[in-house]
Structure 1
Amino acid sequence: MTTTHTIHWLGAGLSSAPGIIALAKKSSAIIVWNRSLDKAKSALTNNEIEIDVRQLDWQALASTVKPGDLLVSMLPATLHIEVAEFCLKHKAHFVSSSYISEQMQALHSQAQDAGLCFVNEVGLDPGIDHLLAHLLVDDYKKSAQFSPDNQHYFRSYCGGFPKVANEFKYKFSWSPLGVLKALKSPAKWRENGEVQNSTAPWYALSQYKALLSHGYETFQAYPNRDSLPFLKQYHFQDNWDVQQFVRGTLRLNGWSSAWRPLFDEIENLDSVNGEQRLQAISKELEDKYSYQQGEADRVVMCVELEVQQAGKVVWHKSYHLDSQGNEDGQAMARLVSLTVSLAIETVFEGKIPTGVSAAPDKPEQISQWLSTLTSLGESIGSHNHL
């Protein structure tokens, strides 16, 4: 990657290092800005390269950023809009791995008018899952079996957990508070041709048999957030018979039993003292179930499209990844930040449209991204189930 512009990577937390190092090996024009200088320098220690790490100071950043530069926000999601508005002011591109919020989408016209790319949803989930979903839908549309009248079943699940399962069936890569708050988030998806709603994961748990490279493995799964807007994003047409469409989270078998006391307490928290108690629970969990230095995590993702006609399966294909932590970093960190790094390179290549956008949906571009991830050691498998 050759560019005269500078990449400003904001936030060097646990999910950033592999992507930063990969970019720095290709270009010296990268500056990492982090609130804790020592933590960032420690995370980015590498024998092959030296990375410019600076204290995150908005005035210093403002005096350094030039038009045409690119800012990566790996800061808490609540700060993405602030960074995006900063980018508009300083005529810089923006990249984030987070979901596109309404406030972010509202910046589309301004970014487009300024000739800027504001790219989001280019991490693991959302990110790689989008790429795989687009490939499946494109393959199916080109197949002889395609018909809007078929019954369509789409499932996309992803989860991260320790490579060696513990009694809690989970470990935290970052503050548990976000995970706890997500447990109280409503979800919406389509099942049996009808829209379904859930107020918490324990009301919508199911068993999911994932077909991985070593064969089938059973996980627990539950819907995550609102799946329905992704029907349009994945190019499902309004006239399709969609029996199932769900984007959700995978957990190790036994997770719901191990977490039952937490579920019970969180469900009954009152609004007055709830936040304070969540903070306390978060601290307890962080102390007890954080990853140890060098401990390997595991990430599993499965994205599949099954198509039936009069009760008979006529088309069924799936993609999967099953990654473990290694000497290049935790699986979660690699898959998130390496995909972010691909988005950055694609922006500088002029191959991403201006305005607010999510992960690419064109098969040729997706294939290039997946090929690059494979060359970096990440393995994505596929199965034709017929």
Structure 2
Amino acid sequence: MTEGTGGTAKEAAPASGTVHWIGAGLSTGSGLAALCDTADRVRLWHRTEERAADALAALGLTGRAEPRAYTLAALAADLAPGDVVVSMLPAPEHAPLLATAIERRAHFACSSYVSDAVLDQVPAAEAEGLTVLTEAGLDPGIDHLFAHSLIARAERAVGVDTAATYTLTSYCGGIPAVPNDFKYRFSWAPAGVLNALRAPARYIEDGAETTAARPWEATRPHVIDGETFEAYPNRDSVPFLRQYALPAAWKPRTFVRGTLRLDGWRTAWAPVFAELERGDDERIAALARELAATYPTTEADRDRVVLAVSL
């Protein structure tokens, strides 16, 4: 989506046909391949040109994208008006990357939740006719589309002025197709997985706002097509009540966006939770590296993704 402010915007900057994909971690794969099929030019930026080239080779994309050594200054020098910057970097790095994109009149996209630091730059992007696209992944992203579809169908069936209570749950998770003893394999940044668990979760339960300081302690069974998973709230669900624009006559009984894990996950991760409770940043960073080495997603593994949105 383009984040708008209601101000005066220039006509949309025409696309140049060049896409700059920034980062080549565990989440880089089919998306980059799809761009190689459709864009005129694709450049993959990684820590070194050699590592970018190795990433392209591993994905079977050698010769279909140009490897580049990433620094913000090097990217800025290469950007041209109408280029598109796709950020696969950690969320804190999106804002400076967006600032550079706006300065060079390039469009920007990422799959992460929109942050205040990104949102604050939208007026400047809009003034230049640029698109800022966030939350453009599976979760967040496709889950939003499912929620809006369900709400539209419910409005037609129930009526927007009819008093009603509702439960809306939106759960998503990447899990190993073949369960292991840890009930998980790391298919994206391990530090990100652990740090997400350290953030309190806010949601609606029994009609009232609830906060779980330790999200895993709010884990509940969740059955999908006869299969039992474990689900826990993630981040702050409450602002999405407004974003989803549910009718004012409807009152939420439960409203939660969260994460799905295999049944038995909470028990298997008990030692991890103990470390998170102690809150030693250096130890948690080391633990992330240890777990990634012990439970990686390899070429022999199949990563199963489950998304379930219910109203």
Whether TM exceeds 0.5 here: the answer is: yes
**Could you say if the C-alpha distance between residues 36 and 290 of structure 1 is closer, same or farther in structure 2, counting changes exceeding 3 Å?**
farther
Aligned counterpart in structure 1 of residue 209 of structure 2, from 184, 192, 195: 195
Shift of 1:147: 4.5
Q: What is the distance in 2 between the residues matched to 1:282 and 1:62? A: 32
Aligned counterpart in structure 1 of residue 87 of structure 2, from 68, 73, 86: 73
**Could you say if the C-alpha distance between residues 4 and 280 of structure 1 is closer, same or farther in structure 2, counting changes exceeding 3 Å?**
closer
Aligned counterpart in structure 2 of residue 250 of structure 1, from 260, 263, 269: 260
Contact 2:176/2:185, CA 8 A, preserved across alignment: yes
Aligned counterpart in structure 1 of residue 38 of structure 2, from 13, 26, 30: 26
Where does residue 286 of structure 2 map in the other structure? 280
Q: What is the distance in 2 between the residues matched to 1:142 and 1:225? A: 30
Where does residue 241 of structure 2 map in the other structure? 231
Q: What is the distance in 1 between the residues matched to 2:146 and 2:104? A: 34
Contact 1:21/1:44, CA 8 A, preserved across alignment: no
Where does residue 11 of structure 2 map in the other structure? none
Secondary structure of the 1:98 match is coil
Moved more, 27-36 or 294-303: 27-36
Q: What is the distance in 2 between the residues matched to 1:104 and 1:165? A: 38
Q: What is the distance in 1 between the residues matched to 2:119 and 2:249? A: 26
Shift of 1:49: 5.8
Shift of 1:178: 1.8
Where does residue 135 of structure 2 map in the other structure? 121
> What is the one-letter code of the residue matched to 1:303?
V
Contact 1:24/1:49, CA 8 A, preserved across alignment: no
> What is the one-letter code of the residue matched to 2:296?
S
TM-score, normalised with respect to structure 2:
0.90
**Could you say if the C-alpha distance between residues 144 and 7 of structure 1 is closer, same or farther in structure 2, counting changes exceeding 3 Å?**
same
Which deviations, in whole Å up to 9, do the C-alpha atoms of 1:153-190 show, x marking residues without a partner? 10000011111100000011233222222222100101
Q: What is the distance in 1 between the residues matched to 2:282 and 2:274? A: 17
Q: What is the distance in 2 between the residues matched to 1:81 and 1:97? A: 13
Verify: 1:140 aligned to 2:154, yes or no. Answer: yes
Where does residue 105 of structure 1 map in the other structure? 119
Moved more, 223-232 or 200-209: 200-209
Query: What pairs with 1:259-298 in structure 2 (closer than 5 Å)?
Result: 259-269=269-279, 274-298=280-304
Shift of 1:58: 2.9
Query: What pairs with 1:33-72 in structure 2 (closer than 5 Å)?
Result: 33-45=45-57, 46=60, 50-72=64-86
Aligned counterpart in structure 2 of residue 153 of structure 1, from 143, 160, 167: 167
Secondary structure of the 1:44 match is helix
**Could you say if the C-alpha distance between residues 47 and 247 of structure 1 is closer, same or farther in structure 2, counting changes exceeding 3 Å?**
closer
**Could you say if the C-alpha distance between residues 139 and 83 of structure 1 is closer, same or farther in structure 2, counting changes exceeding 3 Å?**
same
By relative contact order (CA 8 Å, sep 6+), the higher-ranking structure is 1
Q: What is the distance in 2 between the residues matched to 1:196 and 1:154? A: 15
**Could you say if the C-alpha distance between residues 19 and 50 of structure 1 is closer, same or farther in structure 2, counting changes exceeding 3 Å?**
same
Contact 1:224/1:247, CA 8 A, preserved across alignment: yes
Verify: 1:218 aligned to 2:228, yes or no. Answer: yes
Q: Tell me the percent identity.
A: 42
Q: What is the distance in 1 between the residues matched to 2:16 and 2:100? A: 20
Q: What is the distance in 1 between the residues matched to 2:205 and 2:232? A: 12
Secondary structure of the 1:122 match is coil
Moved more, 171-180 or 93-102: 171-180
Contact 1:25/1:49, CA 8 A, preserved across alignment: no
Q: What is the distance in 2 between the residues matched to 1:60 and 1:275? A: 31
Contact 1:72/1:94, CA 8 A, preserved across alignment: yes
Secondary structure of the 2:73 match is helix
Contact 1:192/1:243, CA 8 A, preserved across alignment: yes
**Could you say if the C-alpha distance between residues 87 and 204 of structure 1 is closer, same or farther in structure 2, counting changes exceeding 3 Å?**
same
Q: What is the distance in 2 between the residues matched to 1:222 and 1:107? A: 32
Shift of 1:266: 2.0
**Could you say if the C-alpha distance between residues 38 and 14 of structure 1 is closer, same or farther in structure 2, counting changes exceeding 3 Å?**
farther
Moved more, 288-297 or 193-202: 288-297
Where does residue 24 of structure 2 map in the other structure? 12
Q: What is the distance in 2 between the residues matched to 1:195 and 1:74? A: 33
Moved more, 220-229 or 34-43: 34-43
Secondary structure of the 1:237 match is coil
Contact 2:18/2:39, CA 8 A, preserved across alignment: no
